[in-house]
Amino acid sequence: MPRKAAIPKKTKSKLAQLDDCGVAQLSPAALGLMASFFKVLSEASRLQIVCALKAGPKNVTDIIETTGLGQANVSKHLKMLAQAGIVSRQAQGVCAYYQISNPFIFELCELVCDALSIQIEHQNEQFEELGVMLQSS
pLDDT at site 38: 92
Query: What does the pLDDT look like over 49-102, one tens digit per residue?
Result: 999 999 999 999 999 999 999 999 999 999 999 999 999 999 999 999 999 999
Query: What does the pLDDT look like over 31-57, one tens digit per residue?
Result: 998 899 999 999 999 999 999 999 999
* Measured distance CA(16)–CA(112) in Å, rounded: 24
- The 10 Å CB-count burial string (b at 16+, else e) for 30-40 is eeeeeeeeeeb
